[in-house]
Amino acid sequence: HHLQDIGMKINWGPGMFNLLMFNSADENNPLSNKLVREAIEYSLDRETMADTLGQGLYEPLHQMASSIWPGYVEGYNPRPYNVEKARELLAEAGYPTGLKLKVLATDTATDAMSLLIYYMGEAGIEVQPDLADLGRYFGAAFSTGWDDVLLTASGINPDATDLFVHFGPNPQTFTPSCIWKSEEFKKLCDEALDPSFTSAADAMPKIRAAVRQAGEDCLFVPLWRSINACIMHPY
């Protein structure tokens, strides 16, 4: 804002889609239980988190889509902030006294990690932060997998292809076998890639259905859309 006030030109970019991903394919991990994943989502006040981290410029997210993204499902918010509901779900899942989960993030994500520690802690989930250098972080995120939770981000494609590139049945980035995805979600992603669609717009109903299915399954927990800026002299 200060740079704008003194006459600099700010070219705003779409930012990044920030989310939590889970080691949910391991049946021995608590996160394979949908109730635990749902409890995490209910525990997070994403409006306050986005506002705190982004100084009012970040967009809180409640689905695998941003409002600027063509696959956005208008009004869809399956698990708004409700810490009491989070505690109830943890108890129903068999963790009435809470549980501990390790959260892997880059070593620059200290502010976001602090917020996760606070909000998840309020619901009875003790976050054990694992802040990694980029080598170890990307090796885990895109190859070997992680222990419990991954705090991560992905790019935002204007034609909505990032749903498949990052999160679909055959992703190019988040490939670890520890990530569980429902057959329904994968089927909808595949259907959206049907060659009979002649444009991305034609595929949007299927993409929106996949976004909604991801929410129903609580496959991931969307957090916020960050922003990026290129600062230039006005000339």
DSSP code of 24?
-
Q: Give me the mean pLDDT over the 167-184 stretch.
A: 96
pLDDT at 214: 97
Alpha-carbon distances, residue 75 vs 56, 63, 92, 94, 167 (angstroms): 21, 10, 28, 32, 22
Q: Give me the mean pLDDT over the 123-140 stretch.
A: 98
Helix (H, G, I), strand (E, B) or coil at 234: coil
pLDDT in tens, 11-48: 888 899 999 999 999 999 999 999 999 999 999 999 99
Instruction: Return all residues near 130 (Cβ < 8 A) that are at least 6 apart.
Output: 102, 103, 104, 105, 147
pLDDT at 69: 92
pLDDT in tens, 204-233: 999 999 999 999 999 999 999 999 888 998
First-last CA distance in the chain: 19
pLDDT in tens, 132-163: 999 999 999 999 999 999 999 999 988 888 89
Instruction: Return all residues near 92 (Cβ < 8 A) that are at least 6 apart.
Output: 35
pLDDT at 12: 85
pLDDT in tens, 62-85: 999 999 999 999 999 999 999 999
Mean per-residue pLDDT of the chain: 95
